[in-house]
Structure 1
Amino acid sequence: MTSPVGDDDLMAWVDGRLSPERLRLVEAFLSEHPEVRTRLTCQMAQARQMCATFAPAAEEPIPAAMRVGAILERRRRPAWWGALAASLLLGAGFGSGWMSAQHFMPPSAGIGALAQEATDNYRVFSVDMPAAGEVAPDGREGLLRQASLRLGRRVAIPDLSRSGYRYAGGRLVATPHGPAVLFLYNNEQGASLVLMTRPMKIDKTAPMAATRQDDVARVSWALNGMGYSVVGSRSPETLHAVAEEAQRQLTHI
């Protein structure tokens, strides 16, 4: 025989919504089925706990945008209003994403990209100077011929001895924008720096710009289609003076 107590009655018992007549009927059913009473008692305890947890939020006032009057007002607006709002939100999202990318992602072109490429090569090769110079100092003439051929432009090695650095060797390196040549220098205290140069597709002429990445400073500029970046673990001010000496010599090649 089908039980006179259904699931709706049991859920109503948990929620305390039974009429006196149905409550007596359900109580009699639960007396005969203690396992069901145990299960429902657990559900009742969980419901009370959830009510207690979310009671503060339930007491907060309804946000203005969710009130009936505000909803009706939005429904009375013309159809183009929603499209305009969606377009503005999309534009704001795109703009914030673009600005985040500009702020957090490495530059992909121009002087910024050159500085990053020089920094990456500095981190790789400066730790092993002067051995990292594929071409030793006495092989500079051969390196210059090879670099000038690969870069398609005349290349020169600045003399930075007035700034306290001696040339320690060089090598051709690869970058996302084509081949570049890396010149390595060190001083008597063991500090090292590099000067990297390559042709520029954009920012063909650009003033010196000093930037920093963690413990590495770099000063970069471009002149007549060639980009230059001096990188080292020095203060930007110290490195800027070295870069100015290099620029003075490279201007006349």
Structure 2
Amino acid sequence: MNNDHDSSLPEGLDLRALSAFVDGELPPMERAAIEAQLAQQPQAAARVAAWRAQKAALQALCGAPQRNEHNEHQEHNERSGSVGRSDAGEPAFIVVRRPTPWWQRVGLAACWLAAGAGLALALGPLAPRLTGGAWNGLGGQPPSFAERADIAYAVYTPERRHPVEVAASEEEHLINWLSKRLNRPLSVPSLQEYGYSLVGGRLLPGEAGPAAQFMYENTSGARLTLYITGISRDETAFRLFRDGNRRTFYWVNDRMGYALSGPIAEGKLRSIAIEVCSALGGKPESWQ
């Protein structure tokens, strides 16, 4: 019996083909054929987008190196048993490798993710000294929702075809849907005066329940995200969390955690965060 086929996928596509497509393991003709099929099959395209998001999240968490076209071409030659050549142009060796099954790759990634989570827990109290002050404010390590907001930014902002679940053209539906899921009336602040327009939003898992992510974009393609989730404590602190060139200003108001993330200058992001906090009923004057 062939277990590779998933009955939830349209005819002509299976899990193995889509997995190889996401991992860049298909030759150009097969890849082009699947891209054409995905353009006509939204269900399969959504699944591919979800897999890519998971892969990006694991790379962001584990620091996996990015693949380039040369490496992918070389790996493809090795998997297909291509012949290596010496500088003189003569065959030097033959490489035959059995491709690793997708389920083994997923299992290995899960192990690395668990190991990374354990290491983060063990080193948490030392983190400010190890990073040289990667986050500011009292309390040392940033709260979980701020880290989740930063990871969600890293995962979804590179997406071009599926950056959001619900587009800005359905803003009223988006707000009603996410308000219902978070059990809290939500609103989407306008950032037009800063040159950013709403792209849309999506539902995400939070620390203790659902979370919402709203995405904005300017005319040059730069993106910001606003992450909102319920939390168990209440305070008025306003702090900064950095990860590489990404910055996240986060705050808590009325048992809701907010985080504005982006790669722009710290001063500008702070100004936007103050504006957003005020628009959402917060008291940014207490941050001054």
TM-score, scaled to structure 1: 0.55
CA shift at 1:98, angstroms?
Answer: 7.1
Report the 3-state secondary structure (helix = DSSP H, G, I; strand = E; otherwise coil) of the residue aligned with 1:128: coil
Note the residue ranges of structure 2 that are not aligned, 5 or more in a row.
Answer: 1-121, 283-288
- Which of 150, 159, 168 is the aligned partner of 1:128? 159
Provide the C-alpha distance between the structure 2 equivalents of 1:112 and 1:196, rounded to a whole number of angstroms.
Answer: 13
Q: Which residue of structure 2 lines up, in the alignment, with residue 162 of structure 1?
A: 193
CA contact (8 A) 1:211 1:217 kept: yes
CA contact (8 A) 2:228 2:256 kept: yes
Q: Which residue of structure 1 lines up, in the alignment, with residue 256 of structure 2?
A: 226
Matches within 5 A, 1:14-29: none
Q: Which residue of structure 1 lines up, in the alignment, with residue 272 of structure 2?
A: 242
Q: Which residue of structure 2 lines up, in the alignment, with residue 217 of structure 1?
A: 247
Provide the C-alpha distance between the structure 1 equivalents of 2:226 and 2:270, rounded to a whole number of angstroms.
Answer: 12
Note the residue ranges of structure 1 that are not aligned, 5 or more in a row.
Answer: 1-95
Q: Which residue of structure 1 lines up, in the alignment, with residue 213 of structure 2?
A: 182
Provide the C-alpha distance between the structure 2 equivalents of 1:103 and 1:177, rounded to a whole number of angstroms.
Answer: 28
Query: In terms of Rg, which structure is larger?
Result: 1
Provide the C-alpha distance between the structure 1 equivalents of 2:201 and 2:144, rounded to a whole number of angstroms.
Answer: 21
Is residue 99 from structure 1 mapped to residue 125 from structure 2 by the alignment?
Answer: yes
RMSD of Structure 2 on Structure 1 (CA): 2.8
CA contact (8 A) 1:210 1:218 kept: yes
Which gives a bigger RCO, structure 1 or 2 (Cα 8 Å, sep 6+)?
1
CA shift at 1:157, angstroms?
Answer: 0.6
- Which of 211, 226, 231 is the aligned partner of 1:200? 231
CA contact (8 A) 2:145 2:207 kept: no
1:192-224 per-residue CA deviation (whole Å, 9 max, x = no partner) reads 11000011112x232321221111101001111
**How many residues matched?**
155
Q: Once the two structures are aligned, what percentage of the paired residues are identical?
A: 27
CA contact (8 A) 2:144 2:207 kept: no
Provide the C-alpha distance between the structure 1 equivalents of 2:124 and 2:159, rounded to a whole number of angstroms.
Answer: 38
Provide the C-alpha distance between the structure 2 equivalents of 1:200 and 1:164, rounded to a whole number of angstroms.
Answer: 31
1:4-23 per-residue CA deviation (whole Å, 9 max, x = no partner) reads xxxxxxxxxxxxxxxxxxxx
CA contact (8 A) 2:128 2:141 kept: no
Provide the C-alpha distance between the structure 1 equivalents of 2:123 and 2:266, rounded to a whole number of angstroms.
Answer: 30
Provide the C-alpha distance between the structure 2 equivalents of 1:250 and 1:122, rounded to a whole number of angstroms.
Answer: 20
Is residue 139 from structure 1 mapped to residue 170 from structure 2 by the alignment?
Answer: yes
Provide the C-alpha distance between the structure 1 equivalents of 2:257 and 2:168, rounded to a whole number of angstroms.
Answer: 22
Distance 1:97 1:243, change over 3 A: closer
Which one-letter code corresponds to 1:144 in the other structure? Answer: I
CA contact (8 A) 1:129 1:168 kept: no
CA shift at 1:126, angstroms?
Answer: 0.4
Which one-letter code corresponds to 1:140 in the other structure? Answer: E
Report the 3-state secondary structure (helix = DSSP H, G, I; strand = E; otherwise coil) of the residue aligned with 1:219: strand
Task: Determine which structure has the larger helix proportion and give its number.
Answer: 1
Report the 3-state secondary structure (helix = DSSP H, G, I; strand = E; otherwise coil) of the residue aligned with 1:162: helix
CA shift at 1:112, angstroms?
Answer: 2.3
CA shift at 1:170, angstroms?
Answer: 0.3
TM-score, scaled to structure 2: 0.49
CA contact (8 A) 1:110 1:201 kept: no
Provide the C-alpha distance between the structure 1 equivalents of 2:247 and 2:197, rounded to a whole number of angstroms.
Answer: 19
Provide the C-alpha distance between the structure 2 equivalents of 1:154 and 1:196, rounded to a whole number of angstroms.
Answer: 15
Report the 3-state secondary structure (helix = DSSP H, G, I; strand = E; otherwise coil) of the residue aligned with 1:245: helix
